[in-house]
Amino acid sequence: MDINDASQSNNQRPYYYSYGDGNNYPPPPPPPQYETNRKKRPIWPWVLGVILLVFIGLIIWAATTHLPDDGEYYGNEDTIAVLHVSGTMSVSTERYSLDEESYDHSYLISTIEQLIYDPYNCGLLLYIDSGGGEVLAASELSEAVAQYKELTGRPVYAYGYQYAASGAYWLAATADEIWLDRYCITGSIGVTYGTMLDLSGLLEKYGIKTNTITSGAQKSMGSSLEEMTPETRAIYQSIIDEYYGYFIDWIVEQRGMDRQSLLTLADGRIYSAKQAVENGLADQVGDYESCLTALLDACGGHDIYVRHYRPQSTESNLLQLLLGSAESGELAALVDLLPPSGPLAYYCE
């Protein structure tokens, strides 16, 4: 082949180059790489999905799991039950509370009933931190503790931590001995229907009239839109006096106090722990360990397992896990001692 023909052939093949005699050609270059416009999928939907599954799993776990009771082991199988009574006493349990411990009436009653038939239980300590609550709740819980004492003959001690006032004192009075922390507030013996607003004067000032159709003159008693009549006040006062009488009778029976002396103390005022011991409303000022030691002695020794019973809802535990525990502080506790509003009878005065 003529060299000119080879040169022409090379010109027609731009990807080939001749070397030497023109017969040795290098291999063709690799095909060009094409970039893709395909975007990577974001990872956040997967992360969100995993978090959602974990959240649902926690809800299912909380709804089907009961927290175990905790305690301190002292030796053998005999036990002392420490029943925690905290928060506002009510027959209806508050749900989704952020309190570390919430009041659960059904739990407390059922726990006492189980302890009655527990052959290893040898005593009960009421750990109280409450400013009171509803009449019915305090009465039923106190009756349950009294039944425990009657059927078992075992000792019952009450320990007041920060508050053991009003309806909580009704409960504490059921115990064989009442111990109070030196800074515990107690007393507040009395009953109230709470604060009832009278807006009738305000409505009259702005020319607003209301019409209430009832089957009787007292059917709308307690309405904030009507001025309270002497007859209505007398009806409320009669109920308050009756409930107050039950309160006084219970303390006299359980504490063995003179009724007239108690009436002097039971005007609704609060007492410090030292004052309560001095006037006979309590027995000892001391810390929890001292109270527990005294109960252990009453049960015959220190080789006893101490089991704590805390009525804590699973909803509350879950919210604490997700949102953290809310500190109520002393202000919130003092508010618990103020008169509540509404038609329910409370002990807080």
Number of domains in the chain: 1
What would the pLDDT profile of 6-44 be if each residue is shown by its tens digit?
A: 444 445 544 444 444 555 556 666 665 555 555 566 776
What would the pLDDT profile of 177-222 be if each residue is shown by its tens digit?
A: 999 999 999 999 999 887 777 777 776 777 777 777 767 777 767 6
Written as one string, the DSSP assignment of 73-115 is: --SSS-EEEEEEEES-B-SS---S--SSS---HHHHHHHHHHH
**CA-CA-CA-CA dihedral for 292, 123, 178, 134, to nearest 10:** 120
Residue 220: inside a domain: no
Residue 97: inside a domain: yes
Residue 177: inside a domain: yes
What would the pLDDT profile of 263-296 be if each residue is shown by its tens digit?
A: 999 999 999 999 999 999 999 999 999 999 999 9
In this prediction, residue 117 carries a pLDDT of 94
Written as one string, the DSSP assignment of 204-249 is: HHTT-------SSTTTTTT-TTSPPPHHHHHHHHHHHHHHHHHHHH
Question: CA of 3: how far to CAs of 7, 24, 27, in Å?
Answer: 6, 14, 21
Q: How many CB atoms lie within 10 A of CB 319?
A: 17
Residue 142: inside a domain: yes
Q: How many CA atoms lie within 13 A of 107 on its CB side?
A: 22
Residue 46: inside a domain: no
What would the pLDDT profile of 289-334 be if each residue is shown by its tens digit?
A: 999 999 999 998 767 899 999 986 544 444 444 444 333 444 344 4
What would the pLDDT profile of 114-131 be if each residue is shown by its tens digit?
A: 999 999 999 999 999 999
To the question of pTM greater than 0.95 for the whole model, the response is no
Does residue 104 surpass a pLDDT of 60?
yes
Output the average pLDDT for the chain.
Answer: 77
- CATH number of the domain that 249 lies in? 3.90.226.10
Residue 217: inside a domain: no
| CA atoms of 73 and 300, how far apart (whole Å) | 16
| CA atoms of 100 and 288, how far apart (whole Å) | 19
**Any idea which residue has 């395909």 for tokens?**
38
Identify the domain containing residue 93 by its residue range. 68-191+243-336
| CA atoms of 192 and 155, how far apart (whole Å) | 32
Rounded to the nearest 5°, which phi and psi values hold at 240? -60, -45
| Residue 85 buriedness (CB in 10 A; 0-12 / 13-18 / 19+) | buried
**Tokens representing residue 218 in the block:** 């007292």
What average pLDDT does the segment 75-85 reach? 84
Q: How many CA atoms lie within 13 A of 214 on its CB side?
A: 10
Residue 140: inside a domain: yes
339 — pLDDT class (breaks 50, 70, 90)? very low
Residue 181: inside a domain: yes
